[in-house]
Amino acid sequence: MDYLSIEEGRKADGLRLVLVAGTPGAWGECIKAVYKVKGISYKAVAQLMEKTVDDLWQWTGQTSAPVAAYNDERIRVTWENMLWQAEQLEPEPKLIPANVHDRVLMFGMLRELAGECGFAWDRRLHSIAMSGGPEANPVLSYLAEKYGYSESEVEASYLRTADLLALFSERLEQQHKAGSRYYIGDSLTALDLYATVLFAIMIKPLPHEDIPMPEGMRWGFSQSHPCLETASPVLFEHRDYIFDKYLTLPLDF
Protein backbone atom coordinates (compact mmCIF):
# COMPACT_ATOMS: atom_id res chain seq x y z
CA MET A 1 0.00 0.00 0.00
CA ASP A 2 1.22 3.49 -0.86
CA TYR A 3 1.17 5.94 2.01
CA LEU A 4 1.23 9.68 2.44
CA SER A 5 3.16 11.13 5.35
CA ILE A 6 1.20 12.74 8.19
CA GLU A 7 2.16 16.16 6.83
CA GLU A 8 1.05 15.22 3.29
CA GLY A 9 -2.19 13.72 4.56
CA ARG A 10 -2.99 16.83 6.55
CA LYS A 11 -2.63 19.01 3.45
CA ALA A 12 -4.56 16.68 1.12
CA ASP A 13 -8.28 16.83 0.37
CA GLY A 14 -10.87 14.11 -0.01
CA LEU A 15 -10.96 11.15 2.36
CA ARG A 16 -7.74 10.30 4.17
CA LEU A 17 -7.33 7.32 6.47
CA VAL A 18 -4.47 7.21 8.97
CA LEU A 19 -3.29 3.63 9.45
CA VAL A 20 -0.49 1.87 11.30
CA ALA A 21 1.78 1.21 8.31
CA GLY A 22 3.12 -2.27 7.67
CA THR A 23 0.96 -4.21 10.11
CA PRO A 24 -2.69 -5.33 10.20
CA GLY A 25 -4.07 -2.88 12.74
CA ALA A 26 -7.36 -4.40 13.92
CA TRP A 27 -9.57 -1.30 13.85
CA GLY A 28 -7.95 0.05 10.68
CA GLU A 29 -8.57 -3.17 8.78
CA CYS A 30 -12.21 -3.12 9.88
CA ILE A 31 -12.95 0.33 8.45
CA LYS A 32 -10.98 -0.59 5.32
CA ALA A 33 -13.36 -3.54 4.90
CA VAL A 34 -16.31 -1.15 5.12
CA TYR A 35 -14.74 1.09 2.46
CA LYS A 36 -14.08 -1.97 0.28
CA VAL A 37 -17.71 -3.10 0.32
CA LYS A 38 -19.00 0.42 -0.29
CA GLY A 39 -16.45 1.20 -3.01
CA ILE A 40 -15.14 4.25 -1.12
CA SER A 41 -11.71 5.42 -2.25
CA TYR A 42 -9.30 7.06 0.17
CA LYS A 43 -5.71 8.16 0.60
CA ALA A 44 -3.76 6.10 3.13
CA VAL A 45 -1.65 8.06 5.62
CA ALA A 46 1.14 6.32 7.56
CA GLN A 47 1.29 6.26 11.34
CA LEU A 48 4.72 4.78 12.13
CA MET A 49 4.11 3.68 15.72
CA GLU A 50 5.89 6.14 18.04
CA LYS A 51 7.78 7.90 15.22
CA THR A 52 4.90 10.11 14.09
CA VAL A 53 3.05 10.51 17.38
CA ASP A 54 3.78 14.24 17.67
CA ASP A 55 2.69 14.93 14.08
CA LEU A 56 -0.55 13.01 14.53
CA TRP A 57 -1.24 14.80 17.84
CA GLN A 58 -0.82 18.19 16.19
CA TRP A 59 -3.28 17.21 13.45
CA THR A 60 -5.91 15.21 15.33
CA GLY A 61 -5.45 15.95 19.03
CA GLN A 62 -4.77 12.28 19.81
CA THR A 63 -2.16 9.65 18.94
CA SER A 64 -3.94 6.49 17.77
CA ALA A 65 -4.79 5.15 14.33
CA PRO A 66 -7.09 4.74 12.52
CA VAL A 67 -8.25 8.29 11.90
CA ALA A 68 -10.59 9.36 9.09
CA ALA A 69 -10.40 12.91 7.73
CA TYR A 70 -12.70 14.09 4.95
CA ASN A 71 -12.05 17.52 3.41
CA ASP A 72 -12.58 20.12 6.15
CA GLU A 73 -15.12 18.12 8.15
CA ARG A 74 -14.47 17.24 11.78
CA ILE A 75 -11.96 14.45 12.10
CA ARG A 76 -13.32 11.01 13.05
CA VAL A 77 -11.24 9.10 15.61
CA THR A 78 -13.60 6.36 16.87
CA TRP A 79 -14.81 3.24 15.08
CA GLU A 80 -18.43 4.37 15.47
CA ASN A 81 -17.77 7.85 14.03
CA MET A 82 -15.96 6.34 11.05
CA LEU A 83 -18.73 3.82 10.38
CA TRP A 84 -21.45 6.48 10.37
CA GLN A 85 -19.30 8.71 8.16
CA ALA A 86 -18.86 5.88 5.64
CA GLU A 87 -22.63 5.32 5.59
CA GLN A 88 -23.16 9.02 4.87
CA LEU A 89 -20.46 9.20 2.18
CA GLU A 90 -21.83 6.15 0.36
CA PRO A 91 -25.31 5.07 1.52
CA GLU A 92 -25.32 1.86 -0.56
CA PRO A 93 -24.91 -0.90 0.19
CA LYS A 94 -26.41 -0.09 3.56
CA LEU A 95 -24.33 -1.53 6.40
CA ILE A 96 -26.25 0.05 9.30
CA PRO A 97 -29.76 -1.42 9.61
CA ALA A 98 -32.72 0.92 9.13
CA ASN A 99 -34.82 -1.10 11.55
CA VAL A 100 -34.27 0.29 15.04
CA HIS A 101 -34.31 -3.10 16.77
CA ASP A 102 -31.73 -4.51 14.36
CA ARG A 103 -29.67 -1.33 14.66
CA VAL A 104 -29.60 -1.46 18.46
CA LEU A 105 -28.64 -5.14 18.34
CA MET A 106 -25.90 -4.52 15.79
CA PHE A 107 -24.33 -1.61 17.63
CA GLY A 108 -24.53 -3.46 20.93
CA MET A 109 -22.67 -6.42 19.49
CA LEU A 110 -20.23 -4.15 17.67
CA ARG A 111 -19.42 -2.38 20.91
CA GLU A 112 -18.54 -5.71 22.48
CA LEU A 113 -16.21 -6.39 19.55
CA ALA A 114 -14.56 -3.02 18.97
CA GLY A 115 -15.24 -0.86 22.03
CA GLU A 116 -13.16 -0.35 25.15
CA CYS A 117 -12.79 -3.66 27.01
CA GLY A 118 -14.31 -5.42 24.00
CA PHE A 119 -12.87 -8.34 22.06
CA ALA A 120 -10.14 -6.48 20.15
CA TRP A 121 -9.10 -4.55 23.25
CA ASP A 122 -8.98 -7.72 25.34
CA ARG A 123 -7.01 -9.67 22.73
CA ARG A 124 -4.39 -6.91 22.91
CA LEU A 125 -4.17 -7.51 26.65
CA HIS A 126 -3.90 -11.28 26.08
CA SER A 127 -1.09 -10.91 23.56
CA ILE A 128 0.86 -8.66 25.94
CA ALA A 129 0.48 -11.18 28.76
CA MET A 130 1.43 -14.15 26.60
CA SER A 131 4.49 -12.31 25.24
CA GLY A 132 6.00 -11.70 28.67
CA GLY A 133 4.19 -8.60 29.88
CA PRO A 134 5.14 -4.93 29.59
CA GLU A 135 8.66 -5.61 30.90
CA ALA A 136 9.53 -7.74 27.85
CA ASN A 137 10.22 -4.87 25.44
CA PRO A 138 9.41 -1.19 24.79
CA VAL A 139 6.60 -1.94 22.31
CA LEU A 140 4.76 -4.10 24.85
CA SER A 141 5.33 -1.45 27.51
CA TYR A 142 3.77 1.18 25.21
CA LEU A 143 0.77 -1.05 24.45
CA ALA A 144 0.33 -2.01 28.10
CA GLU A 145 -0.01 1.63 29.12
CA LYS A 146 -2.38 2.33 26.25
CA TYR A 147 -4.71 -0.59 27.07
CA GLY A 148 -4.64 -0.33 30.86
CA TYR A 149 -2.71 -3.54 31.43
CA SER A 150 -2.71 -5.13 34.87
CA GLU A 151 -2.93 -8.70 36.13
CA SER A 152 -6.46 -8.18 37.40
CA GLU A 153 -7.57 -6.61 34.12
CA VAL A 154 -6.10 -9.48 32.13
CA GLU A 155 -8.04 -11.97 34.25
CA ALA A 156 -11.24 -9.98 33.73
CA SER A 157 -10.56 -9.86 29.98
CA TYR A 158 -10.42 -13.66 29.78
CA LEU A 159 -13.94 -13.88 31.20
CA ARG A 160 -15.24 -11.20 28.82
CA THR A 161 -13.72 -12.97 25.82
CA ALA A 162 -15.19 -16.33 26.73
CA ASP A 163 -18.64 -14.78 27.12
CA LEU A 164 -18.39 -12.87 23.84
CA LEU A 165 -17.28 -15.83 21.76
CA ALA A 166 -20.10 -17.94 23.23
CA LEU A 167 -22.64 -15.19 22.47
CA PHE A 168 -21.45 -14.68 18.89
CA SER A 169 -21.42 -18.43 18.29
CA GLU A 170 -24.96 -18.77 19.63
CA ARG A 171 -26.16 -15.85 17.51
CA LEU A 172 -24.81 -17.34 14.27
CA GLU A 173 -26.21 -20.76 15.07
CA GLN A 174 -29.64 -19.19 15.61
CA GLN A 175 -29.33 -17.30 12.33
CA HIS A 176 -28.36 -20.45 10.45
CA LYS A 177 -31.48 -22.19 11.77
CA ALA A 178 -33.49 -19.24 10.46
CA GLY A 179 -31.84 -19.57 7.03
CA SER A 180 -29.44 -16.60 7.24
CA ARG A 181 -25.64 -16.47 6.79
CA TYR A 182 -25.42 -13.13 8.63
CA TYR A 183 -25.46 -11.90 12.22
CA ILE A 184 -28.39 -9.51 11.70
CA GLY A 185 -31.37 -10.18 9.45
CA ASP A 186 -30.82 -11.58 5.96
CA SER A 187 -28.14 -9.26 4.61
CA LEU A 188 -24.63 -8.01 5.26
CA THR A 189 -24.09 -5.43 8.00
CA ALA A 190 -21.02 -3.78 9.48
CA LEU A 191 -21.12 -6.39 12.26
CA ASP A 192 -20.35 -9.15 9.75
CA LEU A 193 -17.34 -7.21 8.47
CA TYR A 194 -15.92 -6.30 11.87
CA ALA A 195 -16.33 -9.83 13.23
CA THR A 196 -14.75 -11.32 10.11
CA VAL A 197 -11.69 -9.07 10.22
CA LEU A 198 -11.13 -9.21 13.97
CA PHE A 199 -11.46 -12.99 14.18
CA ALA A 200 -9.15 -13.38 11.16
CA ILE A 201 -6.41 -11.34 12.82
CA MET A 202 -6.84 -11.92 16.54
CA ILE A 203 -7.99 -15.53 17.00
CA LYS A 204 -6.64 -18.40 14.90
CA PRO A 205 -5.07 -15.86 12.49
CA LEU A 206 -5.32 -16.62 8.79
CA PRO A 207 -2.02 -17.83 7.30
CA HIS A 208 0.86 -15.50 6.50
CA GLU A 209 0.10 -15.48 2.79
CA ASP A 210 -3.36 -14.06 3.56
CA ILE A 211 -2.48 -11.77 6.45
CA PRO A 212 1.24 -11.06 6.77
CA MET A 213 2.02 -9.82 10.26
CA PRO A 214 5.10 -9.44 12.45
CA GLU A 215 6.19 -12.75 13.96
CA GLY A 216 5.63 -11.59 17.53
CA MET A 217 2.14 -10.34 16.72
CA ARG A 218 1.18 -13.64 15.08
CA TRP A 219 2.61 -15.62 17.98
CA GLY A 220 0.64 -13.60 20.52
CA PHE A 221 -2.67 -14.09 18.71
CA SER A 222 -2.03 -17.77 17.94
CA GLN A 223 -1.59 -19.03 21.51
CA SER A 224 -4.36 -21.20 22.91
CA HIS A 225 -6.21 -20.31 26.11
CA PRO A 226 -9.33 -21.71 27.78
CA CYS A 227 -11.20 -18.45 27.13
CA LEU A 228 -11.07 -19.19 23.38
CA GLU A 229 -12.69 -22.60 23.67
CA THR A 230 -16.20 -21.13 23.59
CA ALA A 231 -15.66 -20.18 19.93
CA SER A 232 -17.78 -22.49 17.78
CA PRO A 233 -16.59 -23.54 14.29
CA VAL A 234 -19.49 -21.47 12.95
CA LEU A 235 -17.53 -18.28 13.71
CA PHE A 236 -14.76 -19.31 11.36
CA GLU A 237 -17.15 -20.62 8.71
CA HIS A 238 -18.78 -17.19 8.73
CA ARG A 239 -15.36 -15.49 8.58
CA ASP A 240 -14.39 -17.49 5.49
CA TYR A 241 -17.77 -16.91 3.82
CA ILE A 242 -17.55 -13.13 4.22
CA PHE A 243 -13.99 -13.03 2.88
CA ASP A 244 -14.95 -15.17 -0.11
CA LYS A 245 -18.07 -13.17 -0.97
CA TYR A 246 -17.23 -9.57 -0.06
CA LEU A 247 -13.56 -8.97 0.74
CA THR A 248 -10.12 -9.62 -0.75
CA LEU A 249 -7.10 -11.56 0.42
CA PRO A 250 -4.29 -11.01 1.08
CA LEU A 251 -4.88 -7.93 3.19
CA ASP A 252 -2.80 -5.01 1.94
CA PHE A 253 -1.17 -2.75 4.49
- Specify the CATH number for the domain of residue 80: 3.40.30.10
Same domain for 155 and 214, yes or no, is yes
pTM of the model: 0.95
The total of other beta-carbon atoms located within 10 Å of residue 139's CB is 16
Domain count, the chain: 2
Same domain for 148 and 231, yes or no, is yes
SS3 of 66-106: the string is CEEEECCCCCECCHHHHHHHHHHHCCCCCCCCCCHHHHHHH
pLDDT at 50: 65
Q: Are 33 and 247 in contact (CB under 8 A)?
A: yes
Question: Please, which residues bridge with residue 16 across strands?
Answer: 43, 69
Question: Edge-to-edge strands of the sheet including 67-70?
Answer: 43-47, 15-20, 67-70
Same domain for 157 and 206, yes or no, is yes
Digit-coded pLDDT (tens) for 14-35: 999 999 998 999 999 999 999 9
Helices 100-114 and 190-202 pack at an angle, to 10 degrees, of 20
Give φ, ψ of 211 to 5 degrees.
-135, 90
pLDDT at 139: 83
Q: Are 211 and 201 in contact (CB under 8 A)?
A: yes
Q: Are 211 and 243 in contact (CB under 8 A)?
A: no
Nearest of 157, 247, 245 to residue 201 by alpha carbon: 247
Same domain for 65 and 144, yes or no, is no
Print the domain residue range for 41: 6-89
Strands 15-20, 43-47: pairing is parallel
Same domain for 119 and 217, yes or no, is yes
Same domain for 134 and 227, yes or no, is yes
Residues in the chain, pLDDT under 70: 49-51
What's the sign of the alpha-carbon dihedral 42, 43, 49, 50? Answer: negative
